[in-house]
Structure 1
Amino acid sequence: MDQPADPDPDALLRPRPPSPLRAVGDERFERCGVRLLLKRDDLVHPELPGNKWRKLAPNLRAAVANGQRAVVTFGGAYSNHLRATAAAGRLLGLETVGIVRGEELARRPLNDSLARCAADGMRLHFVSRSAYRRKAEPEELARLLDEAGAGGAYVVPEGGSNALALTGCAELGRELRGTADVVAVACGTGGTLAGLAAGLEPGQRALGVPVLAGGFLAPEIRSLQLAAFGGPAGDWSLAEGLHHGGYARVPAALDAFAADFESRHGLPVERIYVAKLLWALTELTASGAFPRGTTVAAVITGRP
């Protein structure tokens, strides 16, 4: 796109109206006495859907307030966070640099996701997977930034998850107060769940569905909440083992489930995060994980 989605680019940094919440009739939930709501956070911004806007906006406000004109961040080959950061940079007139996991990707044609980043003006810098894993180490981070020509840029972590981001995601929780017993969201880095749980009211529970294998998220979420809120915040839990083989793995059964959900409810289902969330809620409901009379809200964080 040549023109910003907002008439005034700075509108990207302002609070936006609450995203829509609607009930859907689905017999797989209804026969178990569970009511399903969809929180259409994919509609919160035309180019930065859902948790991407909620996490990026507070960081971009800080970058602009500090007079910084460049933002650097991190992600894999199919990172929605990289795409959102690149789009935000175009809208705000900020330089963006993406440090991408996987040196070998530099020798291949760009996939659709990275091509979109480049089209939005993001400069891509590919690094080895071993170096990428060490990016939280101060010396390695400094080396990566220098190598990428991004010294002095405002640094946003992988997935956008930091203390500032959690304040944006807590607003999502506040929007959902009093609407559901359980609020569920797909998890990559855990920042959205950490902030969401903090924003809900007592008696509500946040449920995270990790889309990566490894079982490493719980300590990350506790660490993020400590940095953002000074300690634990809200009631949250993780539904592990429903990742379908790991990040960006979309086996045929999951793809078919997503296509069927689209047909049933007229909702475009993003496959990397949202499909796994909806599959997990269907499986958990069938297994009796939610007592009859439970209302579950699924946060739709992205679009295909």
Structure 2
Amino acid sequence: MFTFALMVIVPNQNIKTSNPTISLAIKREDLLHPFVSGNKFRKLKYNILEAKKQQQIQLITFGGAFSNHIAATAFACQEVGIKSIGIIRGEELRTKIDENPTLHFAQNCGMTFEFVSRESYQNKNATDFIKELESKYGKHYVLPEGGTNALAIQGCEEILTDYDADFDYICCAIGTGGTISGIINSAKPHQKILGFPAVKGDFLTEEICKFAKTKNWELISEYHFGGYGKVTPDLIQFINDFYKETKIPLDPIYTSKMVFGVLDMIEKNYFPNGSKILMIHTGGLQGIKGMNQLLEKKNKQKIEINV
């Protein structure tokens, strides 16, 4: 039976670097659960518990075509007996569910979809949009896109444990800013948190400041590889080579870009000798299938990891 345990601890796996004085490890949050893994497990934990506490029978959330959040929410809701409704960006996806591994999985988990135009989706937080959902679906629990809210931050504050206290740097990929905010809040005073945005733009600083309680963090913005959902041949080759060397699978949207960035920064002597660095694997491996579909259509090299 699926459950959100009170406390879950995952292993750290050591990684070799070009600088023998630097200690590098990756926290395998991707091993938390096969379908609700990484930061999605952390973000959903207290939101699902709150929905159950409120005796809600349905949950509405938002996402795109290959959203890790949509897939994880659909599975978690099915397991705890809550109906899930996904507001999906892109009306053209309505007829492509069977072709889309993420949406196909979510539908098989019982999620109901409502496909909206990209223009309408931009207004998903507007009062009129929310009222329309309430009128159509009745009483429900609303979970924001990416799952980021105060309860999600609370869950992400449990990523770091006392076992991680010796690390000097904690590195994390960023989508909406929720995961890194929880990490910032639970980090030790001597630790510096480095965030690697998967998106372009400076808006993430403002989002993180809404939840972060300290200023022990910095954004490293040059490893987005073109922006959200974008990849390059070099990144795909890196994912494949890294897996061959370490047997650690990386997703193409978030964690791979962060790991690439950290290793590159070590090469460029960003970190002082003797530094102890912990990278957070935020899961998202379900997105590999969708990315490989896109790469195959473009006759590009694919990710050589079976998920």
The TM-score normalised by the length of structure 1 is 0.89
Q: 2:196 aligns with which of 203, 209, 214?
A: 209
Q: 2:5 aligns with which of 14, 25, 39?
A: 14
Report matched runs for 1:167-178 at 5 Å. Answer: 167-175=154-162, 177-178=164-165
Q: Does 1:113 align with 2:102?
A: yes
Residues 168/109 of structure 1: CA separation in 2 closer, same or farther (3 Å cut): closer
Q: 2:65 aligns with which of 77, 81, 84?
A: 77
Query: Which secondary structure does the structure 2 equivalent of 1:214 belong to?
Result: coil
Alpha-carbon deviation of 1:176? 5.4
Query: Which secondary structure does the structure 2 equivalent of 1:173 belong to?
Result: coil
Query: Which secondary structure does the structure 2 equivalent of 1:185 belong to?
Result: strand
Q: Does 1:276 align with 2:257?
A: yes
Residues 175/152 of structure 1: CA separation in 2 closer, same or farther (3 Å cut): farther
Query: Which secondary structure does the structure 1 equivalent of 2:256 belong to?
Result: helix
Q: Does 1:44 align with 2:32?
A: yes
Partner of 1:229: none
Q: 1:63 aligns with which of 43, 51, 56?
A: 51
Q: 2:233 aligns with which of 252, 269, 272?
A: 252
Alpha-carbon deviation of 1:213? 1.5
Report matched runs for 1:84-233 at 5 Å. Answer: 84-110=72-98, 111-146=100-135, 149-175=136-162, 177-225=164-212, 232-233=213-214
Q: Distance in 1 between matches of 2:52 and 2:32?
A: 21
Query: Which secondary structure does the structure 2 equivalent of 1:13 belong to?
Result: coil
Report Cα offsets for 1:45-102 as digits up to 9, x if no partner. Answer: 2321111010101000000011111111111111000000001011111100011111
Q: Distance in 2 between matches of 1:175 and 1:64?
A: 30
Alpha-carbon deviation of 1:34? 2.2
Alpha-carbon deviation of 1:196? 0.6
Alpha-carbon deviation of 1:175? 4.7
Q: Which ranges in structure 2 are unaligned for 5 or more consecutive residues?
A: 286-307
Q: 1:243 aligns with which of 207, 224, 232?
A: 224
Q: Distance in 2 between matches of 1:184 and 1:299?
A: 6
Contact 1:70 1:95 in 2 (8 A): yes
Residues 166/176 of structure 1: CA separation in 2 closer, same or farther (3 Å cut): farther
Q: Distance in 2 between matches of 1:183 and 1:53?
A: 19
Query: Which secondary structure does the structure 1 equivalent of 2:269 belong to?
Result: coil
- Give, as a single letter, the amino acid of the residue that structure 1 aligns with 2:126: E
Q: Distance in 1 between matches of 2:82 and 2:108?
A: 14
Report Cα offsets for 1:200-231 as digits up to 9, x if no partner. Answer: 11010111111111221000111134xxxxxx
Contact 1:72 1:150 in 2 (8 A): no
- Give, as a single letter, the amino acid of the residue that structure 2 aligns with 1:85: T
Residues 42/263 of structure 1: CA separation in 2 closer, same or farther (3 Å cut): same
Q: Distance in 2 between matches of 1:250 and 1:150?
A: 37
Query: Which secondary structure does the structure 2 equivalent of 1:139 belong to?
Result: helix
Alpha-carbon deviation of 1:16? 3.6
Q: Distance in 2 between matches of 1:80 and 1:138?
A: 26
Residues 86/290 of structure 1: CA separation in 2 closer, same or farther (3 Å cut): same
Query: Which secondary structure does the structure 2 equivalent of 1:125 belong to?
Result: strand
Aligned-residue CA RMSD (Å): 1.6
Alpha-carbon deviation of 1:152? 1.5
Residues 61/256 of structure 1: CA separation in 2 closer, same or farther (3 Å cut): same
Q: Distance in 2 between matches of 1:214 and 1:80?
A: 21
Contact 1:261 1:267 in 2 (8 A): yes
Q: 1:34 aligns with which of 10, 15, 22?
A: 22
Query: Which secondary structure does the structure 2 equivalent of 1:38 belong to?
Result: strand
Contact 2:35 2:71 in 1 (8 A): no
Q: Distance in 1 between matches of 2:133 and 2:225?
A: 32
Q: Distance in 1 between matches of 2:163 and 2:84?
A: 33
Query: Which secondary structure does the structure 1 equivalent of 2:121 belong to?
Result: helix
Residues 283/236 of structure 1: CA separation in 2 closer, same or farther (3 Å cut): same
Query: Which secondary structure does the structure 2 equivalent of 1:116 belong to?
Result: helix
Residues 34/96 of structure 1: CA separation in 2 closer, same or farther (3 Å cut): same
Contact 2:97 2:103 in 1 (8 A): no
